[in-house]
Amino acid sequence: MGLHRGPRLLDFTKTPAHLQFNKYVLTGYRPVSTAPDCLRSLFYMHNELGNIYSHGIPFLLFLVLLPYSIPWMEVDSTWICVAHYLACLCPTIGSVLYHVFMNHIGGEHVYDTLLSLDMVGVCLVNTLGALPIIFITLLCHPAVQQAAMLAYILLSAYGIYCATTAHTNFLRLRAFVWQALFRVSLFLFRVYGSGVGSPDSLRLFVIMDALAVLGGLVNVIQIPERFSPGLFDNWGNSHQIMHVMVVCSIVYLHWGTMADLAWIKTFQCPAG
């Protein structure tokens, strides 16, 4: 059902053990393939096609469109713009590579490497995406601003280690908890402390984190396919729902960061 007929697809029980990670997806597995055959799978229906395009299309849109809305020349610290742009691109490109090549003939070793790449992409959006938030929140506290960014980077490195060595979706989700708690403490510092930032951005950042957490939970509990195994093999399963939520989360990160960057242009820290 595509531009060309693909190979004969496999059922869950016939696919290699390392690809049997969702027992509620019963059919549509690609056979073990060479790299060119993995790429050809972009053009026929199988159970990873939705995962590939739900991050592949947003990646291309972010790559081309985001530079037009980022105020590269209007902020003093250009690194904020670069970090933010890379943050928006990292999770989707890592994910696309993982989903396209996961059935590579190299087997479990290649699969594990690709899964780590996917996890590093998620860690990088958490890291690079949060650095502008930390920088702006602590703008009037230069002494702790740098230390907080360094602490967050170290926390992120620990998160990458946990995420790439975890063996279940629950443990992978848990690897991001410390970064999330750090961000929550920043949000609280904006509300109750002397943290600063656009009055509009905080709500956007909270929605961003809520979407990401919700997406991760849906992926862990495997809803809706758990209630009707086989019905969501190609479309509408939990992993695709998580992909859509991740993309929405990135859009909220972008809106929040753009609100902060617009606000910073006219802000002066109070004297003393």
Is residue 61 within a helix (H) or strand (E), and if so which, with residue range? helix 49-69
- Segment contacting Zn ion (CB under 5 A): 89-97, 173-181, 222-230, 258-266? 89-97
Torsion angle of C-alpha atoms 258, 261, 266, 271, degrees rounded to 10:
140
Identify which of residues 80 and 242 has a Cβ nearer to Zn ion in the complex.
242
Identify which of residues 95 and 222 has a Cβ nearer to Zn ion in the complex.
95
84 annotated ligand binder: no
> Residue 226 has which token pair?
């758990």
What's the alpha-carbon Rg for the chain, to the nearest Å? Answer: 20
Interface residue with Zn ion among 15, 33, 54, 95 (CB under 5 A) is: 95
Least gap, CB of 46 to Zn ion (angstroms): 15
Q: 3-state class of 29 per DSSP?
A: strand
Least gap, CB of 19 to Zn ion (angstroms): 13
Q: Does 169 sit near Zn ion (CB under 5 A)?
A: no
DSSP 3: S
Q: Residues touching Zn ion: how many (CB under 5 A)? A: 1
| CB of 204 closer than 8 Å to CB of 251 | no
Least gap, CB of 239 to Zn ion (angstroms): 6
Least gap, CB of 94 to Zn ion (angstroms): 9
- Of 147, 204, 156, 214, which Cα lies nearest the Cα of 181? 156
104 annotated ligand binder: no
Rounded Cα gap, residues 46 and 197, in angstroms = 45
Identify which of residues 52 and 259 has a Cβ nearer to Zn ion in the complex.
52
Q: 3-state class of 144 per DSSP?
A: helix
- Segment contacting Zn ion (CB under 5 A): 15-23, 35-43, 88-96, 133-141? 88-96
46 annotated ligand binder: no
| CB of 243 closer than 8 Å to CB of 77 | no
Least gap, CB of 131 to Zn ion (angstroms): 24
Which residues would be at the binding site for Zn ion (CB under 5 A)?
A: 95
| Residues contributing to the annotated binding site for Zn(2+) | 99, 239, 243
